[in-house]
Structure 1
Amino acid sequence: MTAPPSSRRAILAGLLALPAAGILALPAPALAQGTWPARPVRIVVPFTPGGSTDIIARALAADLQAEFGQPFVVENRGGAGGTIGTEAVAHAAPDGYTLLLGHIGTLAVNPSLYRRLSFDTVESFAPITLAAVVPNVMVVNPSRVAAGGVAELIALARQRPRSLSYGSGGNGSAAHIAMAAFNLATDTVMEHVPYRGTAPMMNDLIGGTIDLTFTGGPPALPPVRAGLLRALGVSSLHRLPAAPDIPTIAEQGAPGFEATQWYGLLAPANTPRPIVNRLNAASARALRGEALRARLEAEGAEAAPNTPEQFRDFILSERSRWSEVVRRADLRLE
């Protein structure tokens, strides 16, 4: 039996309405995923320019820009040991246009260092990938510190507790936590001088205002090669391919000592998974590519891409590890 014209018209109208209704029913992020990125993406570095975080962020941003055809702009938002910039990304719109280049201090140390944070370093973010691992290099101003190696520095520090000053990029920075671990491992006490970023701290170290620091290869090796600073040791268990003449700290009176920095890319929590996956794949290609890998290795960094799930688990394990250092060194801040 044929449906009456009025019924056929109603059925046809309903069928024609289905595609539009289906599109309208999609959540806004789903609509945006197909065109992402349609405008510039910013990568927030929670420190001032010139440190390892900034150097790695800019290197990765250049490759992501080439991959996606949109600008990836590095924005430095330093302060409070990296918490200001990290907080800004945690509270940003989860649309893929605001990312964070986080590191060991902002993601693993600060949760136990600061008593009150307005975000959680795991739950407030969508991890994308671990980017690089950077052994710290202990460097001294040769006009202020006569020690030629780590064993001599330990002896000097034990003879004159608090007589040596070490700089860092701020409370909770990689240099701060690495030196705290070194002091615990070697039974030494040195005076901490926090700065608002690695670059001003390195300027003062070269200028002779402070004695030493523990910082990543990217900011440390150029002044060492220029003869402005003396490198005493590296904090990994193996020597740096970029500087094989610098012995490890474990070789020089602190057996088993290891305190490396690491850096990774994150987005705000609830960023659509397709965007996270695209960023993960593009970042992995860049980090495994010969050009970027060679550039990082020349700076003393090692590319280390992984999956979002692996990066999340890594952050959790590092938080547990460094919370013990914070507790033993009594480093908690308000």
Structure 2
Amino acid sequence: MSKFMPSRRAAHKTMLCLAASAAALCLAPAATASPWPDHPIQMVVPFPPGSSPDTLARLIADPLSKALEQPVIVENKPGAGGNIGTRYASKAKPDGYTILLTINGPMVTAPTLYKKTLGYDPTTDLAPITLVGTSPNVLIVPADSPAKSVQDFVAMAKAKPNTLNYGTVGPGSSSHLSMAMLEHQAGISMQQIPYSGFPQVVSAIITGDIQASFMVPGLAVPQISAGKVRALAITSLQPSELLPGIPTMASQGYPGFEAISWDAMFAPGGTPEDIVDRLNQAITQILADPSVKQKMAALYFSAAPSSPDQLTDLMNKDKARWGAVIDRLHLSLD
């Protein structure tokens, strides 16, 4: 036998070693891969502490931590109507360790309002997880206003074109676009007065500096109950158990008039589907908890979990509705 030729026993031993090495390589990924999650998760909220998105996020974070057996840490990144924090989350690594709770504005109207400077595309840079909660807006007027209904208010506006003032929290906000939609449907024209926040809008309604506003119920209802302002309508298609006794816009001559505020959970685009599914299942179970529902109701939000596809459908529907309003206004905030 040539000295360069291995013996049969040596060759057999070499083949066994190679087979063992190959088997070890095949098993290595499964043995070393870390299960998700294995460290804390960041829940980005693009609004300040104390805001309704922040409150909802903290309501979900604790039970979600227990469900995933890892801390879920709420981090506020406010600014630009929620666009800054939403953009931050959209650029995060899609590994399941950054999630986002935001409202409809940054996801639906911002891409139309900020065509040049938004810095993210909600349809590709963020992956829907689930809808969290919904809340109608409320149309309010001063307590001593002659208007007792939407029809009365529209008649007042028609009698004094471009004279009545309405308050908003800025151009392109839900309060602005909702009134612009009413102006279009009712054939009226009024003057927008922007304020820095809804507390200032409520104060202006009470003093009579403005004649109306669509606004969030959390700030409106206490003043309604105190008799300082009057509610004319809510903007859901159906009456709300959270706002009993207040008729809908649809029931007062404006069928299809809907302006719902919603909060939803997203992950960076490209996050693995199994992680998205697990988050969806965990958050859905949390939102079914009666104590969570009760706490959300105190904020005038109804728990409304959904599938990722249902959330995508809602976004597309809202984008079409509000995009038409924005186009009629020729409104751009770039």
| Partner Cα separation in structure 2 for residue 81 and residue 175 of structure 1 | 13
State the Cα distance separating 1:193 from its structure 2 match.
4.0
Partner residue, 2:64: 64
Larger Rg: 2
Q: For residues 206 and 275 of structure 1, do their structure 2 counterparts lie closer, same or farther at Cα, with a shift above 3 Å needed?
A: farther
Write the deviation string for residues 50-103 of structure 1: whole angstroms up to 9, x where unpaired. Answer: 444333333223332332343333333333232212111111121222222232
DSSP 3-state at the match of 1:122:
helix
Q: For residues 171 and 293 of structure 1, do their structure 2 counterparts lie closer, same or farther at Cα, with a shift above 3 Å needed?
A: same
Partner residue, 1:79: 79
DSSP 3-state at the match of 1:123:
helix
DSSP 3-state at the match of 2:241:
coil
Write the deviation string for residues 7-51 of structure 1: whole angstroms up to 9, x where unpaired. Answer: 42453255246435653599xxx934x141511x33223233444
Which one-letter code corresponds to 1:157 in the other structure? A
User: Which range moves more in the overlay, 183-192 or 106-115?
Assistant: 183-192
Partner residue, 1:249: 249
Partner residue, 1:315: 315
User: Which range moves more in the overlay, 251-260 or 108-117?
Assistant: 251-260
DSSP 3-state at the match of 1:244:
coil
Tell me if the contact between 1:150 and 1:232 (Cα under 8 Å) persists in the aligned partners: yes
Tell me if the contact between 2:143 and 2:227 (Cα under 8 Å) persists in the aligned partners: no
Tell me if the contact between 2:133 and 2:263 (Cα under 8 Å) persists in the aligned partners: yes
State the Cα distance separating 1:266 from its structure 2 match.
0.3
| Partner Cα separation in structure 2 for residue 78 and residue 150 of structure 1 | 35
State the Cα distance separating 1:6 from its structure 2 match.
5.2
Q: For residues 228 and 64 of structure 1, do their structure 2 counterparts lie closer, same or farther at Cα, with a shift above 3 Å needed?
A: farther
Partner residue, 2:120: 119
State the Cα distance separating 1:329 from its structure 2 match.
2.6
- What is the RMSD computed on CA atoms of the aligned residues? 3.1
Tell me if the contact between 2:232 and 2:246 (Cα under 8 Å) persists in the aligned partners: yes
Q: Are residue 23 (structure 1) and residue 28 (structure 2) matched?
A: yes
User: Which range moves more in the overlay, 299-308 or 279-288?
Assistant: 299-308
DSSP 3-state at the match of 2:250:
coil
Tell me if the contact between 2:167 and 2:195 (Cα under 8 Å) persists in the aligned partners: no
Which one-letter code corresponds to 2:138 in the other structure? V
* % identical aligned pairs: 35
Which one-letter code corresponds to 1:180 in the other structure? A
Write the deviation string for residues 242-268 of structure 1: whole angstroms up to 9, x where unpaired. Answer: 221111122334344222222211011
| Partner Cα separation in structure 2 for residue 309 and residue 65 of structure 1 | 25
Partner residue, 1:260: 260
Partner residue, 2:46: 46
Which consecutive residues of structure 1, in runs of 5 or more, have no partner in the other structure?
none
Which one-letter code corresponds to 1:230 in the other structure? R
Which consecutive residues of structure 2, in runs of 5 or more, have no partner in the other structure?
1-6
Q: For residues 246 and 317 of structure 1, do their structure 2 counterparts lie closer, same or farther at Cα, with a shift above 3 Å needed?
A: closer
State the Cα distance separating 1:282 from its structure 2 match.
0.6
Q: Are residue 137 (structure 1) and residue 138 (structure 2) matched?
A: yes
Which one-letter code corresponds to 2:177 in the other structure? I
